[in-house]
Amino acid sequence: MNILHYWRAMWGIIGRELWRFVRQRERFISALVRPLVWLFIFAAGFRAALGLAISPPYETYILYEVYITPGLMGMIQLFNGMQSSLSMVYDREMGSMRILMVCPLPRWFLLVSKLVAGVSVSIVQVYVFLTIAWFYDIEPPLVGYFWVFPALILSGLMLGALGLLLSSFIKQLENFAGVMNFVIFPMFFMSTALYPLWKMKESSELLHSLAFYNPFSQAVELIRFALYGQFNEYAFIYTFCAFSFFMIAAVIGYNPSKGMMMKKGGK
Partner 1 sequence: MSIQSSQRNEQAAALSIEDLSFSYSGRKALDKVSFSVKSSECTILLGPNGAGKSTLFSLITRLYDSHHGNIQLCGFDVKKETRNALTRLGVVFQQTTLDLDLTVMQNLRYHTALQGMSRKLAKQRIQQELERMCMYERRSEKVRQLNGGHRRRVEIARALLHKPALLLLDEPTTGLDVPSRQSIVEHVHQLVADQGLAVLWATHLIDEIYPQDQLIIMHKGQVRVKGSVDEVLKITSSASINEAFRRLTQGENV
Q: For residues 245, 255, 85 and 155, what is the CA-based torsion angle, rounded to 10 degrees?
A: 20
Q: Does 99 bind partner 1 (CB under 8 A)?
A: yes
Q: For residues 75, 79, 84 and 89, what is the CA-based torsion angle, rounded to 10 degrees?
A: 150
- Chain positions 102 to 121 lying near partner 1, rule: CB under 8 A, are 102-106
> Which of the 8 DSSP states describes residue 264?
T
- Chain positions 67 to 96 lying near partner 1, rule: CB under 8 A, are 94-96
- Chain positions 24 to 63 lying near partner 1, rule: CB under 8 A, are 24
- Chain positions 236 to 265 lying near partner 1, rule: CB under 8 A, are 256-257, 261-262, 264-265
- Give the one residue of 100, 152, 247, 251 binding partner 1; rule: CB under 8 A: 100
17-25, 126-134, 149-157, 215-223 -> range binding partner 1 (CB under 8 A): 17-25
Nearer to partner 1, 101 or 124 (CB): 101
Determine the Cα–Cα distance for residues 222 and 132; give it in Å rounded to an integer. 21
Sorted by sequence, the CB contacts under 8 Å of residue 194 that are 6+ apart come out as 68, 71, 188
Give me the half-sphere count of Cα atoms (radius 13 Å) on the Cβ side of residue 147: 18
Summarize as ranges the residues that interact with partner 1 (CB under 8 A): 4-6, 8-9, 11-13, 15-16, 19-20, 23-24, 94-96, 98-106, 256-257, 261-262, 264-267
